[in-house]
Amino acid sequence: MPETAFHHTSHRVDIAAPAGVVYGLVADAVRWPLFLTPTVHVEALDLEGADQRLRIWALACDDVTSWVTRRTLDPAARRIDFRQEVPGPSEPGVTGSWVVEELPEGSSRLTLRSALPASATRTTPASWLERAEHDDLLALLADLKHLAERWATLDEHIVAVEETLRVDGPAELAYDFLYRIENWPAQLPRLTRLDLVEETPGIQQVRMDLLADDGRTHTARGVRVCFPHGGRIVYKLVEPPASTVAQAGEWSVEPDASGVTLRGRHQAVLRCPDGSSDTEPRTESGTAPGTEPRTESGGGAGPEVGRALGRDSAVVLGLARRYAQSAVRVITPKP
């Protein structure tokens, strides 16, 4: 059987940050969707010990693709080896390594080496790396450099919001509302237009116009990955509103013995984390009754952005509850 030919690539970037910080950002793959431009979602399949197994969804050339990757972490050597799994046991995937070297005066060098099967076709995860290496891969390294060089104040520019709402209705109906995002503009005044593309079931690309408190309209673009059996929908805004550079989150429907809990988790990175410009404040408005908001941020524009995220999340959860409970009342016969 002939040996597979591989195309080898190597990219590196020097970063004005400690090697340990850079390694930590690469190792923490679950947070990549919030920080790294091409990454939409990372699902941890196995995180026990040094050997990890992850499913990754990413954008390449405006297409959403996913694959499973196995990683071996070596913190002492600051090295992470990876191997991508692809359909079919005889088909080779991309292999490679992340290596962080310590340089003088507290700086570091990050190198990404990969071996791409020369026979990879456009339909395989391997071809994603081939098509992305000149654009998305360089953006990936640029994102890591930008983040690492601002690591000391990074947490001050992250806003995290979580909202919960109890529902006395079927979990399936609540999830159905959250899934059918194309119906939201008719019920959300701030959402004036939404275009949905779902070529693969459960992978939704959306483009929407959002009305800000100052009367201006912002266009946002996002990707949603839906897990109907788990009652979850994760999302990332790849083109977020003007006040943030990144936004990601999750909607979940969690049934229990006494009812259903709807949960919305949202995280955002404020624009210009180096402080070169300010985000524009937003005014606070009421939230849906029965919600329990929790917001964490580092000050500045963070509270305003957090309140806006919480408000919008509360409205969506409230509509999902009303949809589920109203449907139950309609189908319940009168005595």
pLDDT digits (tens, 9 = 90+) for 196-227: 999 999 999 999 998 877 788 889 999 999 99
The answer to whether the CB of 95 falls within 8 A of the CB of 114 is yes
- Record the pTM: 0.82
CA distance 28 to 98: 13
Which ranges constitute the DSSP H helices of the chain? 19-27, 32-35, 125-132, 136-148, 171-179, 302-331
The answer to whether the CB of 228 falls within 8 A of the CB of 179 is yes
Q: How far is CA 330 from CA 14, 72, 130, 176, 253, in A?
A: 62, 54, 53, 16, 21
Which residue do the tokens 């408005």 mark? 285
Q: How far is CA 121 from CA 68, 200, 323, in A?
A: 17, 19, 44
Residue 138, token pair as written in the block: 């360089």
CA distance 238 to 199: 18
pLDDT digits (tens, 9 = 90+) for 161-203: 999 999 999 999 999 999 999 999 999 988 999 999 999 999 9
CA distance 274 to 236: 22
Question: Where is pLDDT greater, at 281 or 134?
Answer: 134
pLDDT digits (tens, 9 = 90+) for 143-172: 899 989 988 888 888 999 999 999 999 999
Amino acid at 94: V
